[in-house]
Amino acid sequence: MHVRFGRKLGARGAARRRARFAAAAAAFLVLLACAAASWEGSFEPVNLAWQSQLFQFRHQAGLDPKRASIVIVGWDQNSYTQLGGTWSRATTAQLVDLLHHAGARLIMIDRLYEDDTPDLAAGTAALAGAMRRAGNVVLAQEVAVSATAFTNSATLVPLVSSIAAAARAVGIVNIPPPEGADPNARYRAYSTTVEWAPGQFEPSFALQGARLLGVPSPGLQSTFLVNFAGPIGAPFPYYSLVDVLNGSPGLLSGLAGKIILVGDELSTDKDYFDTPMQSAGIGSATAVQDKMYGVEYNANALNTMLEQDPLQRPDAPLQIAITFPLAILAAAWAIRGRLFSSLLIAAGLIVVLLGGAWLAFVSLAVWIDVAAPLLATVLAPLAVLGVRYTTEERANREVRSLFGRYVAPSVVARIVDDPDAFGLEGELREITVLFSDIRGFTSLSEGMAPQRIVRLLSRYFTAMVEEIQAQGGTVDKYVGDAIMALFGAPEDQPDAPARAVRAALGMQRQLRALNAEFVREGGKPIATGIGLHHGPAAVGVIGAPAKREYSAIGDTVNTASRLESLTKDVGFAIAASAAVVAALPAELAAQVSPRDLGEITVKGKTEGVRVFGLGPPLDPPRE
């Protein structure tokens, strides 16, 4: 029988509930702060660096996206040296003719032809003629921008009219990253159009190529995240311009059906940009080899449109909805779990978060931000555990202080784990109470030095408590040379009467061994009486804030004490009530041979108590 009652006698359970509430509040504040910071873009530099790492990891795993039949022909150091440092229009005309005869599907020239002077007339005519013969050339054009901003008052810089007329299409190449899209000014996103005057849009270079190749136009003012096909210099086949001009039939035949992008890859011309593919995580690349040439950037943008697999990045609310449940789960587990399991769960959820983001990137081309949820998954359980430690540990120390001296360590651990199950706040329990007292201790100790008395009692209590705790009993208190112990509290023990009897028998056995030692040491043997009673009692943590203890009160306690006092009169070292004897298993009852001593009226009670003597009788009865 367990009945909770009255005002709280112990605050341990309430303290745990308060701790969990405080821990949940701390976790909520952490999650709210991380979500707000994510919403405001505070983690953007870290998320952008994460995207760069995803590109690198994907390439290292051999999972780069599908590539169209794109080939890059570059004006590089080799071409510069062999052609005398000049990339003339006549050279480009020769290149276009070669590519046309080789069967190139589309020729896209990322070079500006804006000057129309007499000395360039021959080259201009040759280039225009080659472009007309090919009929599949896309040219680059630029928009002149102000020195401070990309404004609607920008100027569309015209090309040489005869060259522009010979082109199949013309597209803008100097399109900056969308405003505010990347604090590191990297070219991650690609805009398909540019508004160079109010309401006046011009298509981009890559968009014009995609249109001619039959890809539906994404529409005006469309921006997408480039799904880079691989690291810098690696994704697409590359040939030096001079090698194509001098190329063997085998080289040229390999260009049949290819989309050819021709552009500048000479470092001194500085037609290169910072992109997510550079090795540095954050900031601008300092080495040229870490930058991507404009023609390769356009090739990646074109490839993304042709394969129709741009990166998708969920907006902030969806990012939070996708990822923050992991942080919530980590915090929820930490609120109720142990330290090690909470940290293990948090670590596992971090692996799930990073692994899920990786799979989304390589399988679905979805870029999931991890900075905020990662931080939340780490900080939320840490905040919970920190609050729990500071609030619960104080209460745990109180429990250890209350019970550590009186019950086995394993019982203390169970009480700390689940105090509510032990009724520390106060409850009515069916328990068995054991009282033990040394007979004639006052006269025995007369003439003994205080130090010897203390040593004697210490040896005695050590032996007795060992037997009590061996049977799962709780030492309630010491009163002089007397011991009060409980069975069935604070831990449930359906066999509490049997445990108490076994403890009493063990105490008598230990006492005989102690007495033999005392006699050998020149001392006197001692005798004890033990009283046992089973019944309801109020148990809980009792006392003032300065000094509290777990104890039992009520008639059951008083009766056990009175039975202990009766042992000096009934001739047995152990006196038990009928309630105790009735609950003993047959084997134990046969061992102790209960002798019915009849109904005895004990001090403080008007009704008699049926008393049994356990074990062999004493001869003669002790005084």
Asked whether residue 298 falls in the same domain as residue 321, the answer is no
Place of tokens 């880079």: 228
Q: State the total domains in the chain.
A: 3
pLDDT of residue 621: 41
User: Residue 483 domain-assigned?
Assistant: yes
Contact between 415 and 409 under an 8 Å Cβ cutoff? The reply is: no
Contact between 407 and 474 under an 8 Å Cβ cutoff? The reply is: yes
pLDDT of 283 > 50? The answer is: no
Residue-wise pLDDT tens digits, 497-516: 999 999 999 999 999 999 99
pLDDT of residue 11: 47
Q: What does the CA dihedral 479, 483, 484, 490 come to, rounded to 10 degrees? A: 110
Q: What's 498's domain CATH number?
A: 3.30.70.1230
Distance CA 554, CA 5 (A): 14
pLDDT of residue 232: 87
Asked whether residue 168 falls in the same domain as residue 301, the answer is yes
User: Residue 182 domain-assigned?
Assistant: yes
What are the residues whose beta carbons fall under 8 Å from the beta carbon of 374, sequence distance 6 or more? 350, 353, 354
Distance CA 415, CA 266 (A): 75
pLDDT of residue 191: 87
Asked whether residue 432 falls in the same domain as residue 352, the answer is no
Helix axes 316-336, 339-364, angle to 10 degrees: 160
User: Residue 395 domain-assigned?
Assistant: no
Which residue would you say has higher pLDDT here, 540 or 484?
484
Top mean pLDDT of 108-122, 170-184, 321-335 is at 108-122
pLDDT of residue 549: 77
Residue-wise pLDDT tens digits, 285-321: 445 667 899 999 999 999 999 999 999 998 878 888 8
Per-chain mean pLDDT for the chain: 84
pLDDT of residue 42: 86
Q: Would you call the peptide bond into 490 cis, given omega within 30 degrees of 0 as the criterion?
A: yes
Which residue would you say has higher pLDDT here, 360 or 177?
360
Residue-wise pLDDT tens digits, 201-234: 889 999 999 999 998 766 545 889 999 998 888 8
Asked whether residue 427 falls in the same domain as residue 301, the answer is no
pLDDT of residue 446: 75
User: Residue 394 domain-assigned?
Assistant: no
Residue-wise pLDDT tens digits, 9-25: 344 456 667 777 888 88
User: Residue 622 domain-assigned?
Assistant: no
Q: Of 7-11, 52-56, 335-339, 470-474, which gets the smallest average pLDDT? A: 7-11
Which range of residues forms the domain containing residue 451?
A: 404-617
Q: What is the DSSP letter of 311?
A: B
SS3 111: coil
Distance CA 111, CA 129 (A): 17
Which phi-psi region, left, alpha or beta, contains residue 173 (left: φ > 0; alpha: ψ -120 to 50)?
alpha
Burial 435-457 (b: 16+ CB within 10 A, else e): bbbbbebeebbeeeeeeeeeebb
User: Residue 1 domain-assigned?
Assistant: no
User: Residue 53 domain-assigned?
Assistant: no
Asked whether residue 490 falls in the same domain as residue 607, the answer is yes
pLDDT of residue 182: 59
pLDDT of residue 415: 62
Place of tokens 């106060």: 426
Q: Of 100-109, 122-131, 378-387, 543-552, which gets the smallest average pLDDT? A: 543-552
pLDDT of 280 > 80? The answer is: no
pLDDT of residue 177: 60
Asked whether residue 161 falls in the same domain as residue 210, the answer is yes
Asked whether residue 412 falls in the same domain as residue 272, the answer is no
CA angle 332, 337, 339 (to 5 degrees): 115
Residue-wise pLDDT tens digits, 398-409: 666 656 555 556
pLDDT of residue 5: 40
End position of a domain, from candidates 251, 276, 307: 307
Size of the chain, expressed as the number of residues it contains: 623
CA angle 320, 322, 328 (to 5 degrees): 75
pLDDT of residue 551: 85
Contact between 304 and 190 under an 8 Å Cβ cutoff? The reply is: yes
Place of tokens 């084997």: 587
Asked whether residue 361 falls in the same domain as residue 494, the answer is no
Which residue would you say has higher pLDDT here, 319 or 485?
485
Asked whether residue 236 falls in the same domain as residue 374, the answer is no
Three-class SS string for 419-464? Answer: HHHHCCCCEEEEEEEEEEEECCHHHHHCCCCHHHHHHHHHHHHHHH
pLDDT of 101 > 90? The answer is: yes
Top mean pLDDT of 357-361, 376-380, 546-550 is at 357-361
pLDDT of 431 > 80? The answer is: yes
Q: Of 148-162, 405-419, 587-601, which gets the smallest average pLDDT? A: 405-419
pLDDT of 420 > 70? The answer is: no
Six token digits for residue 505? 């028998």
Q: State which amino acid sits at residue 93.
A: A
User: Residue 5 domain-assigned?
Assistant: no
pLDDT of residue 211: 93
Distance CA 421, CA 399 (A): 14
Residue-wise pLDDT tens digits, 183-203: 555 788 888 888 777 778 889
Asked whether residue 300 falls in the same domain as residue 344, the answer is no
pLDDT of residue 562: 92
pLDDT of residue 284: 45
Asked whether residue 238 falls in the same domain as residue 192, the answer is yes
What are the residues whose beta carbons fall under 8 Å from the beta carbon of 577, sequence distance 6 or more? 532, 533, 534, 535, 559, 560, 563, 609, 610, 611, 612
**How distant, in Å, are the alpha carbons of 330, 337, 489 from that of 325?**
9, 18, 41
Asked whether residue 372 falls in the same domain as residue 421, the answer is no
What percent of the chain shows pLDDT beyond 70?
A: 84
End position of a domain, from candidates 252, 275, 307: 307
Q: Which of 405, 390, 502 is nearest to 15 (CA)?
A: 390
pLDDT of 178 > 60? The answer is: no
Overall average pLDDT of the 580-596 stretch: 94
**How distant, in Å, are the alpha carbons of 41, 141, 330, 435, 507 from that of 598?**
85, 117, 64, 20, 25
pLDDT of residue 120: 93
End position of a domain, from candidates 291, 307, 323: 307
